[in-house]
Chains A and B, each alone.
Chain A
Amino acid sequence: MATHKGRGVSAIEYPTGMNQNGDPSQAWIKIKPDGRVDVFAGTSDIGNGSKTIQSQIVADALGVPYDWITYDNSNTDSSPLCTGTFASRATFVAGMAAKKAAESARTKLLEIAGKLLEIDPADLDVVDGEVIPKGAPQKKISVADVAGAATWVYGELITGTGAQLKPYAAIVDNETGRVDLPPHSAISYAACAAEVEVDDETGHVTVTHLWQCFDVGHALNPTLVEGQIEGGAMQGLGLSVLENCYPYYPSVEHRGGQFGSYLAPGMEDLPQIDTIIIENPSADGPYGAKGIGEMANNPQPPAITAAVYDAIGVWITELPITPERVLRALEAKAKPRREGKVVIFDEELSLAKFAHADVAVKFDVHA
């Protein structure tokens, strides 16, 4: 038996928000008479932490402590529209709606405070739950006092609404796929290196180490970003070497209906994961954030595939890289076919191998 080690690398990019945009999110805020803040948004928290992140955004945009925020995403009666928690949009798009709602509530808050203090609202700031006149901090009053005055003195409700929508980028040329507007919001970038060990007798691949670097724009909560990145790494590992709904794809036979036969990554599959977070703030996300939730499982499969090649000298380009595929590849030791300057890999997998000849010609990517 021989165990072979190998390393591979990859670099990827991924857009934030729905492709072509056109996906609105909205939020609204009301401030209670003691200054505490209720945020209403329709963003589901699927574990990604959108309740937390949007509360943090509102706290800073308003200038109040985090624990003053109540976040309600519980139903469609009280919450305005959010397109949903997908497309890496919960922080970037929905978070921007929450930020705008907080800014609009802040404007209203300062308007009341201005009346109360007889100071131009433009000369007021809100910090840690207090309204502070610029240059005259001794005159500061609490947000609670302002909210109380709004309720009991001025007969006003301090609210704010916010909506975020980048217009839909239509394809204006079917020939080239050209669009009339940028079809994405901020693009995030990542690179990854993987180290594997391959048993050349059983074909078993163990991912031993992943190094990853993500440009997250700005980590609004570093711990939650880590959760996304590490979670994505494990799902990427699953894509690479474990998971398959159809073990004999394209056949539908032997599809697994149990955890015993569908190989979701388990705790014992966990490799060493080292991650570097870099922050190049986005121009248009809340506080410079980008959305990296989804891309977190994209860089591992190509890095692991290259690492397997580095270990045993064969390319396995059907995922997952199961022990069976490793043994079949080692047995075939396929070499690319060379035709002049053209190097053709994987002919045995190609459409041309399976389709009728005239179909194959139509779909040929060959020069």
Chain B
Amino acid sequence: MNLTVNGVAREVESGPLTPLLFVLRDELELTGAKAGCQQGGCGACTVLVDGEPRRSCLTPLAAVEGAEITTVEGLGTPEDLAPIQQAFTHHYAAQCGFCTSGLMLAAQAYIDHGGTDDRHAIQEALSGHVCRCTGYVKIVDAVAAAARGDEFDLTVTAGSSGMTSGGVR
């Protein structure tokens, strides 16, 4: 079966019912999408299928034949991070990092579809993604900043909205 993965045409041999997650991880050795639950419940496996966020653990290979797949590996490289990756870095939106690729891809789709920095809209759009660490404040900060088109200084991180220093008492 044929797929385009991160812009490269690939022919894959996995069976037609193999979840896309394992086609990516086991056959193509793209391990950025994570097997968090295989129930569709956590969002750690989300990738973009023709630009739309999809749980790859729920998606049989045959359902995406001929589609364009984008994984975290297709977003940007360490030397040339995509804006959403810069936003997640600058706003410290990744703690253990296991939910991060799914969240960034969902956020990318949200922004590509014209999403704004409205916090409630971001929470609604990403509500299928569990971050147990749970960095929701900083994740929403990061997506809002990326949606605004902020420029990011990657040598420092940003403080959260809502934080104040009480000094020494």
Chain A interface residues (CB < 8 Å from chain B):
46-49, 213, 215, 222-224, 226-227, 230-231, 234-235, 258-260, 264-268, 270, 272-281
Q: A226-B160, A275-B163 are in contact. Are A47 and B124 (CB under 8 A)?
A: no
Of B8-16, B109-117, B133-141, the stretch lying at the interface with chain A is: B133-141
How many inter-chain contacts with C-beta < 8 Å in the A-B complex? 104
A231 in complex: contacting residue of B135, B158, B163, CB < 8 Å: B135
Interface of A is mostly: mixed
Q: Are B130 and A266 in contact (CB under 8 A)?
A: yes
Alpha-carbon separation in the docked complex, A267 to B122 (Å): 9
Asked if A227 contacts B166 (CB within 8 A), the reply is no
Nearest 6 Cβ contacts at the A-B interface:
A259-B41, A47-B96, A47-B95, A278-B166, A223-B157, A234-B134
User: What is the bound-complex CA distance between A234 and B140, given in angstroms?
Assistant: 14
Cβ B134 vs Cβ A231 within 8 A: yes
* A264 to B160 alpha-carbon distance, docked (Å): 22
Who on chain A is nearest to B97 by CB? A47
Which of A227, A266, A270, A273 is the one whose CB lies under 8 Å from B133? A227
Q: Using CB atoms, name the residue of chain B closest to A222.
A: B159
Task: Say yes or no: is B77 at the interface (Cβ < 8 Å to chain A).
Answer: no
* Residues 70-106 of B at the A interface (beta carbon under 8 Å): 92, 95-97
Sample of 12 more A-B contacts, CB < 8 Å, known A215-B169, A266-B127 = A222-B165, A226-B138, A227-B95, A227-B133, A230-B137, A258-B39, A267-B126, A267-B131, A268-B127, A273-B137, A277-B165, A278-B165
Count of chain B residues near A, Cβ 8 A: 36
Shortest distance from the beta carbon of A43 to any chain B beta carbon, whole Å: 14
- Closest Cβ of chain A to B120, distance in Å, is 9
Q: Given the interface contacts A47-B95, A47-B133, A270-B140, does A258 sit within 8 Å of B164 by beta carbon?
A: no
A157 to B97, CA, bound (A): 36
Q: Of A230, A258, A264, which one neighbours B138 at CB under 8 angstroms?
A: A230
- Report the Cα distance A121→B96, complex, angstroms: 41
CA distance in complex: A271, B164 (Å)? 17
24 contacts between A and B (CB under 8 A): A47-B95, A47-B97, A48-B95, A223-B158, A223-B160, A226-B92, A227-B95, A230-B134, A231-B134, A267-B123, A267-B136, A267-B140, A270-B136, A272-B162, A275-B160, A275-B162, A275-B164, A276-B164, A277-B163, A278-B166, A279-B165, A279-B166, A279-B168, A280-B169
Q: Looking across the interface, which residue of chain B has its beta carbon closest to that of A213? A: B166
Is residue B37 within 8 Å, beta carbon to beta carbon, of the partner chain? yes
Q: Which residues of A sit under 8 angstroms from B159, Cβ to Cβ? A: 222-223, 226
Q: What residue in chain B is nearest A269 (Cβ atoms)?
A: B136
For the complex, give the distance between the alpha carbons of A81 and B96 in Å: 22
| Given A235-B134, A259-B41: A280 touches B168 (CB 8 Å cut-off) | yes
- Does B54 sit within 8 A of A, measured CB to CB? no
Cβ–Cβ contact B37 & A277, under 8 A: no
